[in-house]
Amino acid sequence: MAPGGAFDCDCFTCTDGGRAGPKRVSRSTLYIQRKHEKRRRLDPPSVGSAPDDDGGGSSTSAGVGAGDGAGAGAREGAGAGAGAGAGAGAEAAAGAGASASDSVGAVAGAGSRWSDSGPAGNGRRCDADETPGSSEASEASDPGDVPTPGIETEIVPESEVGHAPTPIYQPSVSTNELRLPIGQFKDHIADLALHACTVRHDLTQASIADLLKLSSTAAKYRTPFLMERFIDASVNLETRAVDCCINGCVAFTHLHTQQTVCDACGAARYAASGKPAKQVIYWSLIAWLAHRLGDPVIGKAMLKNMAAARTAAEEGADGVHDYPHSENFRHYLDRKLLDGGPFIPVNVGTDGFQFFRQNGFEGWPVTATPQSLSPNQRTRNKHQLLLVVTPGPKQPVDLESFLHPIAEELNELAKGVPGLIIPNSTTPVTLRAGVLSFTTDQPGGDKLFQSTGVSSYVYNRLRLFKGVYVPASSHIYFPRTDPSNGDVFFKVLNCTAPRRTEASIAASAAEIENARAEGKSVAYQTRMQQKSGVKGYSLFFAPSPAAREAYPHLKDLWDMGLTALPYDTMHLVLLNVVPHLWRLFAGLKLVNKKKDEDYIMPKVTVARIGRELRGARRTVPMAQAMSLRNIEVHHKSFKAIDWMHFILCSGEFLLAGRIPSDYFDIFMALSRACWLLFRPRGVLKTEIEAIDKDLKYFVSSYYTKIYRGTTERLPLCRSTIATLLDIVPLLWACGPA
């Protein structure tokens, strides 16, 4: 017995089929688990009719060990842990105790910090777990901790259940996989199909229970509990629990690992019982990539695409047709990261979302999309791999603290994860991956970059465009010239505004951090932040010395600088610039309440435009626009897809002859640029030049004809207008949107 009233349980569930050491559980849990071990019919991993007490694992270990060299015999099999997998003999392994877990720690290997999401972890540890009373001690999600009511009544005859699953093989890279051989999959196909169906349709527990009770159901596991147990034992999904603040402020990672209270809100990390107050689950990127690459169909296609991408990058192209022609991919190629095994370029995305506004839940999911998939597959939801969702209920105070476990994995992937078994290769290969770009909206990008956002004098990410503060509205605007004295802030054509580089960002961040460390006043720090637009170190763009030390292999990503953080054209153009233009032309955005601007259409015309657009619903094919709504009535609820149709198709017709030709030309310049920008098949060099020309004409004409250089019209100088000038450089850097 371990101190603190905890017991070492080494049943199949707790040891993950012998792959891990015994787990500390409460006495009641131990009792239930041991009782469960005796009920062979409920124990999925038991093998055939091998007796309980002779180490049923011996036969299993032999079968599995053939593949990966695990030890034979029940006790050694349990000790081998990560290699063996399905050792059943709970009684035999019970004496292994600490030695078993030690050996697991020694053998764990590359993916050792991650645990599968089965009924119990496999003893692997993460950095957040290295503190006393860490997350692993709790395992709040352990179903064994919760006595299941009516469990005795759920027992079904063994003959009905049949033999239980055994793992196929255990590659050295932890991968998300189904652990059933094909024969056993066929035996349990009714259960598995029913489970997949109920999950897909989001059936409630009660409805699943009713469904399973039907006499016509072919499933062998007849209660939701048994079904879940079976699925947990059959499917390996690598997850990791990391402690976080109960209010969702920070995750206790990296430099916060040793903290016992949240430094944002002061909430305690642990509950009175010693368990972490809250944990956030991470789904392993390495495991997902290994799963995709190990798939005989998708994996082969990915390998083929990788080879084609490399060839395309080496040969070059006239323009940018896909990510291989981007500068960021060539950056990896030049650094020889594409040599020596498969390299998967990844696009990481994050954005905030809100649900239950009254209760206030806001989460920030982080996803990763392997770019080695075909363009058609990349856009599918199933291939956008969810890595974490921040716990809420509000947005995290320190988003970066939630990104450290992901950075850790990216660091491992940049270094190379050896031992991956892929199709068409007899020997294990080393898996590598690197981030090509981050996809976010502007506030999300500001959080990743640790930028002050629109409240700084320098907002633009790529260039140092200076802004003008207007005290009346407490806003900063971005004109080309200072209206008070005529100083030129930036030029649209032949722009000489200095570019931000990786070194300049790092210098700005260091300056702020030094001021903070020296104890300068908050006002002083704020002034510095507003001048540089940088709040401090950022994990992926201007790392702190500690981060550089912790993730040395992310250097290639850091060297890319802010070209890895492109503006999302959907948000920038479709949700900012285009609606802004419509509001200007429809008279919804007034300057000093003046309604007689020459670009403002009469209300009657606006109403007619709305009716015409609504009336076009029948004459526009579904492939071009799913729904067409009255823009006069519904413009506030227009989605990006609606604005895209407006700027690409209907806007030209609706505005022609209704606004003066000067303004129509401005609109059409943006429209022409968007025709090429939002084309899925990439763009030629001449077309990129045409985009650049049109965007510059748009920005230049906007400032000349709409802003007109007066102080009272400064609110028209939005940051998004100047930001359009960055689209073309970022298109070269990251590839098509």
Partner 1 sequence: MERKIGTLGKLIRTASNPHASLTANVTRHCKADLVSSFGELYVPKEWAATTGKQPEATGIPVGSWVIPEDVRPDCALLPPKKPSLHLRGMELESMRATLMLESATEVPLATEAKKYYRAKLASGSVAGSTVVGSDSDKHRRRNYSVRINSTEEFFLPDRTVGKRLVSTFGAVLYYAAVFIDGRPMSFAYVQRVKSAKDRSGRYGYSAMNYGIETFLGLGGSTYYLPVAALSEVVETIEREGVHYVLHTREPFSVSE
Residue 612 burial class via C-beta count within 10 angstroms: exposed 0-12, middle 13-18, buried 19 and up:
middle
Judged by CB under 8 A, which stretch of 235-243, 303-311, 400-408, 713-721 contacts partner 1? 235-243
CA distance 397 to 263: 10
Q: Residue count at the site for partner 1 (CB under 8 A)? A: 86
Using an 8 Å Cβ cutoff, are 177 and 236 in contact?
yes
Instruction: Please select the residue that binds partner 1; options are 6, 62, 190, 607, rule is CB under 8 A.
Output: 190
Instruction: Please select the residue that binds partner 1; options are 199, 255, 268, 495, rule is CB under 8 A.
Output: 199
The angle, 0 to 180 degrees and rounded to 10, between the axes of the packed helices 298-315 and 285-294 is: 100
Please report whether residue 618 would count as binding partner 1 according to CB under 8 A.
Answer: yes
Best CA proximity match to 332, nearest among 560, 77, 493 = 560
Torsion of CA 208, 211, 215, 221, to 10 degrees: -20
Instruction: Please select the residue that binds partner 1; options are 2, 146, 197, 308, rule is CB under 8 A.
Output: 197
**Contacts with partner 1 in 345-384 (CB under 8 A)?**
349-351, 353, 355-356, 359, 361, 363, 365, 367, 379, 381-382, 384
**Contacts with partner 1 in 120-159 (CB under 8 A)?**
141
Instruction: Please select the residue that binds partner 1; options are 231, 285, 436, 565, rule is CB under 8 A.
Output: 231
Q: What angle do CA 98, 102, 106 make, to 5 degrees?
A: 170
Those residues whose C-beta lies under 8 Å from the C-beta of residue 31, and which sit 6 or more positions away, are none
182 or 523, CB closer to partner 1? Answer: 182
Using an 8 Å Cβ cutoff, are 625 and 649 in contact?
yes
Assign residue 69 a region: left if phi > 0, alpha if psi is -120 to 50, beta otherwise? Answer: left
Instruction: Please select the residue that binds partner 1; options are 1, 66, 193, 214, rule is CB under 8 A.
Output: 193
**Residue span 80-119 as binding mask against partner 1, x where in contact by CB under 8 A, dash where not:** -------------------------------------x--
> Minimum CB separation from partner 1 for residue 119, in Å?
13
254 or 291, CB closer to partner 1? Answer: 291
Instruction: Please select the residue that binds partner 1; options are 389, 397, 515, 690, rule is CB under 8 A.
Output: 389
> Minimum CB separation from partner 1 for residue 471, in Å?
36
Phi, psi of 219, deg, nearest 5: -70, 145
Which residue stretches of 41-89 are H helix?
57-68, 74-80
**Residue span 622-661 as binding mask against partner 1, x where in contact by CB under 8 A, dash where not:** xxxxx-------------x---xx--xxx-xxx-xx----
Please report whether residue 328 would count as binding partner 1 according to CB under 8 A.
Answer: no
Lookup result for tokens 């479709």: 574
555 or 617, CB closer to partner 1? Answer: 617
336 or 618, CB closer to partner 1? Answer: 618
Instruction: Please select the residue that binds partner 1; options are 96, 120, 233, 237, rule is CB under 8 A.
Output: 237
Residue 705 per-residue DSSP state: I
> Minimum CB separation from partner 1 for residue 345, in Å?
17
> Minimum CB separation from partner 1 for residue 639, in Å?
9
335 or 380, CB closer to partner 1? Answer: 380
554 or 625, CB closer to partner 1? Answer: 625
**Contacts with partner 1 in 560-589 (CB under 8 A)?**
570
Those residues whose C-beta lies under 8 Å from the C-beta of residue 303, and which sit 6 or more positions away, are 293, 342, 422, 423, 424
Please count the CA atoms within 13 angstroms of the CA of 555 that sit on its side-chain side: 8
What stretch of H or E contains 401? helix 399-415
Cis peptide before 45 (omega within 30 of 0): no
**Contacts with partner 1 in 36-65 (CB under 8 A)?**
none
